[in-house]
Structure 1
Amino acid sequence: MLRSLWVVLTSSLMLNLAVGPALVRAQEAPADIPPITIRANTRLVVIDVVVTDKKGQPITGLKPENFSLEESGKKQKIATFTPPGAGQSAQQTLPPGVLSNRPEYIKPAGVPTVLLLDATNSHFLDQSYGRSQMLKYVLGQAESGKPMAVMTLTDQLHVLQDFTTDPKILMNAIKNLRPQEQILQAGTSPGPSSISAELASFTDLAVGYVLERRTLITIQALRDLSRMLSGFSGRKNVVWLTADFPFDLIPTDRNVSDEELLADLPDVRQKSVGTIASGSLASQQRMLHGQEIKQAQADLASAGIAVYPVDMRGIMASGIDVSTTFALRELAAETGGKAYVNQNEIKDGIALAVADENASYSLGYYPENKKWDGKFRNIKIKVDRGDTENRYRKGYFAMDPTLDKNWKPEQEVAGALQVNGSATQVFFMAQAKPTDPGKIRVVFLVDAHTLTAEDAGGSKKMNVSLYASVYGPNGKNLGTRSTKVDRAFDAATYQQILDKGMMVPIDMEIPAGGKELRLAVLDNKTGLIGTVTGPLGQ
């Protein structure tokens, strides 16, 4: 672990840049910025463990030696350890005209929590009730408290309010969240007695198409959330308010026992594992989109996100919806969160997620198994006290997206730039300055601690792509310029890049109607992305 060294960009430095990568003078970062792990041929796996007593009260004061950790039956050495409340830096202010996706500039101190209202998988009335419960929860936060963001899922993920600790700002964002008819109406297929067989077949196809679209939109939202929250240290909570979830996250490599199912669903003991695991629509979608779901799960695990699904339908008079309840509980179990279902005061489900941060310990380790083969790896954690209840994600897929033959880096970057929230997997700062009429120079300063470097005969090889896009007021991409740094650096130069950052300029013309600048940095060896958005002229 090295303490990051960073720079404050100034106009005078910008005007003297040479074409191509360059290094600038550095100044030591403030002491409260947490250290960053260098990604040089290492894969650090971080697991958040919520440790409570039998009454659900947090257990504090635990040390690394109180924990033991196994991956797929093999004991692992704990390399990093963060107790509850540690490792959170105060929010800082950027210099004028500078853009950045670094956490200390975009998030207040504290464990971040996302309140997400799902309109893709929920009907109008459910959305309305969920919104009222969100307002009720925030209304109870009389003073500045925990950092929260408000998002919604429609045709894609949208950030309505970035992280803030001000309840009044959150209230305004939630008030502006207007319930709408479900984006994709699944409907139901009428029986064959009411319509012809041909029409019934067409209706079934329409229902299948809608479910397919809901699944793909939801998978992409999980990946977008992972990119946005990945750079924040410690635990990240996502409270997912929904009335349905189109697929489940049960790893295909892990069997679900009857005991596990019945422990999670005591009210549906009459349902067998086979009926639920193979017969539900959620499980069918998992089988149809297994690779995409595996990648989304790997992203959630890498980002350290715990999902807290909250069923907006409240108490259902007709009884529990077995398939939806099962999918929501599995979503929570696989990510280390907790589901809140069949309850009316769903604001309490939000409070549940926030309370868990007081009992959350972060354990990091470098897996002894260095083969990233896409297989699922089980994780087992024990605490050397007999009176604890421990909750954490059950494992992860050892995925390397760059080994996927279908991986398209240009498409990944384009998708990341469509989201109105910063991806934080790669940190950078940037500034755009006019050069000639209608032209600008965008200067990137990339934190090399968040890039991968491969050994290359005594040198370090880096492969990074940088993108600058101009968007119009309607969200349309009007033009993109890109450049690539794909070369090896000797040891001394690489150390300078680590200490001072990698500076790369892009010159581009401003298309007519351009209003917004969206920037991206892609690590071509890992597929990790950083993005930031700002108005042209900033």
Structure 2
Amino acid sequence: MPSQPNRKRPLNSPAARLALALLFTAPMLILSSATHGSHAQKQQSTDLRQRPAATPEIIDDEDVLKIDTDLILVEVTVTDAEGKPVRGLRPEDFKLFEDGDERPVAFLNVERRGGAERPVAVVFAVDVSGSMTPEEFVRLQSAMRAFSERLSTREASFAVMSFGMNARVLQSFTSDARKLERAIERMARDGSGLSTHTYDAVDDAVRLLVRNAPRTRERRLMKRAVVVVTDGFPVGDTVAPSTVIERANDAEVSVYTVTLPSYSRLMAATSSDRSPLPTPLDVSGLTEKTGGLNVYANTHDYGPLFKALAEEVTSAYVLAFYPPEEKRRDGRSHAIRVEAPRGLSVRQNRTSYKSSDK
């Protein structure tokens, strides 16, 4: 990824103070590209009215942290009427509401900045329980390769997990295509498995991302995602779906699910409706409430589906705002809603946040 130019500025200038804030709070604050710099400076006077007062000449580390840990991030995916991701939107194209009141967008992190694509970290969590057919398994391995190849031009790292009754990490994060290939080849069906601990596996995948995939890389916000491949029937989990959703929201992780044809075939035997029926994962809200998506694989070729999913994973925007002073330490949950231009749909990775009570 190309490095950004190093420009010298006066230490007491607004730009220098903003640079200090980024240095000490990188996991929470990602600046837009140089092309958006002028817009950020225009917003600065508005944003500062909502921030705690700070000494105009000198800002020490503690003041910087106090200011910028109040920033609330929300990641959104915008799609058109055909469900295709929409790119190229600017801050003024969005409206952001907190508890029904519109807030200024402090910044917008986009897919590209100065020609650099946003880095991604993806965990494949693959259901290897006996319910997956051998044919599905072979096609799945091929589709996972197609997914990683689709992202080969950007800074991307992948981890591979298998799960049935227990989750197992086959490959921790790597950008080495050969290691990923070997991990995919090591996956094996568990024909004796009677349980499919899907939520437990997603919870483990989120923890893996938190431990090994930093939120930022070279001043760019990392897109962190879990891609779950399953037949749609979680059985025997010890972690509740609501807990998994909360932890994914806190870690800014989106969950995507790929439902295999074995689920559709089983449902077809009990329903005359040819449209896909909701899976238990759909009903739980796991994908919807983390900004992800559930897709159904067809019976022939998973490759195109996984390529489209790769595009979906890398098309999100990150918006941020400063809550008003009275809501920053009230210990309550507050609703977040983002609107895009008319005719476009928005999916959010979170619909609320809980402020600190300290």
Q: Confirm or deny a common fold (TM above 0.5).
A: yes
Return the match for 1:145 from 138, 153, 158: 153
Match runs of 1:7-406 below 5 Å: 39-40=65-66, 42-86=69-113, 110-119=119-128, 122-123=129-130, 125-126=132-133, 129-130=136-137, 132-138=139-145, 141=149, 144-146=152-154, 147-154=156-163, 155-164=166-175, 166-181=176-191, 183=193, 185-186=194-195, 214=197, 217-218=200-201, 220-228=203-211, 229=213, 231-232=215-216, 233-244=221-232, 246=234, 293-314=241-262, 316-319=264-267, 325-328=279-282, 330-341=285-296, 343-344=298-299, 345-357=301-313, 359-368=315-324, 369-371=327-329, 373=331, 375=333, 377-383=334-340, 385-396=341-352, 398=354
**Deviations 1:418-476 (CA, angstroms, capped at 9, x unpaired):** xxxxxxxxxxxxxxxxxxxxxxxxxxxxxxxxxxxx9xxxxxxxxxxxxxxxxxxxxxx
Which is greater in Rg? 1
**Structure 2, unpaired ranges of 5+:** 1-17, 25-33, 35-62, 271-275
CA contact (8 A) 1:85 1:110 kept: no
Q: 1:392 to 1:289 in 2, by over 3 A?
A: same
C-alpha distance after superposition, 1:268-302 (max 9, x if no partner): xxxxxxxxxxxxx89xx8xx966xx5443233123
Shift of 1:216: 7.1
C-alpha separation between the residues in 2 aligned to 1:218 and 1:158? Answer: 10
**Alignment partner of 1:40: what SS?**
helix
* Deviation for aligned residue 1:240: 0.8
- Would the aligned equivalents of 2:122 and 2:225 in 1 still touch at CA under 8 Å? yes
3-state secondary structure, aligned to 1:367: coil
Higher relative contact order (CA 8 A, sep 6+): 2
Count of aligned pairs between the two proteins: 283
Counterpart of 2:103, as a letter, is: Q
Let me know the Cα RMSD of the aligned residues: 4.0
1:486-515 CA-partner distances (Å, limit 9, x unpaired)? xxxxxxxxxxxxxxxxxxxxxxxxxxxxxx
Kept after mapping to 2: 8 A contact 1:340/1:346: no
Name the CA distance, whole Å, in 2 between partners of 1:131 and 1:87: 39
TM (norm. structure 2) is: 0.64
- Report the alpha carbon displacement of residue 339 of structure 1 after superposing the two structures with TM: 0.2
Question: CA separation in 2, counterparts of 1:131 and 1:349?
Answer: 15
**Whole-Å Cα distance in 1 between the matches of residues 239 and 332 of structure 2?**
15
Q: Per-residue deviation at 1:86?
A: 3.2
* In structure 2, distance between residues paired with 1:301 and 1:170: 27
- 1:20-53: CA deviation from partner (whole Å, max 9, x where unpaired): xxxxxxxxxxxx9xxxx96437243322222232
Name structure 1 gaps, 5 residues minimum. Answer: 6-31, 91-108, 187-210, 247-280, 404-453, 455-538
| Contact residue 378 and residue 395 of structure 1 kept, 8 A | yes
Alpha-carbon distance change, 314 to 47 in structure 1, aligned in 2, over 3 angstroms:
farther
Q: What is the correspondence of 1:518-533 to structure 2 with a 5 Å cutoff?
A: none
Q: Secondary structure at the match of 2:112?
A: coil
- Deviation by residue 1:348-376 (Cα, 9 ceiling, x = unmatched): 4422331125532111223332246464x
TM-score (norm 1): 0.44
The match for 1:460 is none
